[in-house]
A and B are shown apart, each in its own frame.
Chain A
């Protein structure tokens, strides 16, 4: 069965520090997708990124970067020069295919990031 582990329950940093959120996953599928979502204090889930299992290139989007390593089944997320607005719970998720080609997401427990001024 698919499983996502986010070992860091809570992280607290000071503004401008870099921070890395870890995500380790388990799957027997050869084709799968990994996701990161952000849940700010307001509660909604905001999509950040989707990567497929065949693309191991790291991705950078502004202050955000993602490191996908199949060899260690990890998909880590780094925020560079963190800001107070980055304070949120971050979820890593893995696609879990169903028959008929549908998908559901399996989420990790989330990492609560607090960025202090």
Chain B
């Protein structure tokens, strides 16, 4: 158990809908990362927050957004969902957000878009 929690575990929804994925980092970690794992794209970095502020952006679509709240939990919002958004979404956290900090991953949220 990494100490990172993600809810829900599974999510099934329809195209065009909007969903919110939630992540609670390990106690004491200030940085949260979101990754998407799909069969064709593999594991891809989406976005990073550090202490409430956006730190880095990766291959995140404009239909997706995220935020980190004062209690350091983070939410990833996915809207206008398409079939291709079906994937496993991971959240990771680290103490800081620098090159020396190891990222610990949550169990993931499996999103299925029908």
Chain A residues with a Cβ under 8 A of chain B: 31-33, 35, 37, 42-47, 50, 91, 93, 95-98, 100-110
Contacts and interface: CB of A to CB of B under 8 A. Distances in A.
Interface string B58-78: 100000000000000000000
A104 B104 CA distance: 12
Interface residues on B, range: 20 to 34
Contact of A103 (B35, B43, B101, B104): B101
Contacts of B99: 31-33, 95, 97, 101, 103
A91 B33 CA distance: 17
Given A98-B55, A102-B50, A104-B58, A43 B107 contact: yes
B39 to A, nearest CB: 10
**Is chain A's binding surface mostly helix, strand, loop or mixed?**
strand
B21 to A, nearest CB: 15
Contacts, number: 72
A98 B47 CA distance: 12
Given A102-B31, A107-B43, 17 more contacts: A43-B110, A44-B2, A45-B105, A45-B108, A46-B2, A46-B105, A47-B2, A47-B104, A96-B45, A103-B101, A103-B103, A104-B33, A104-B48, A105-B33, A105-B45, A107-B44, A109-B42
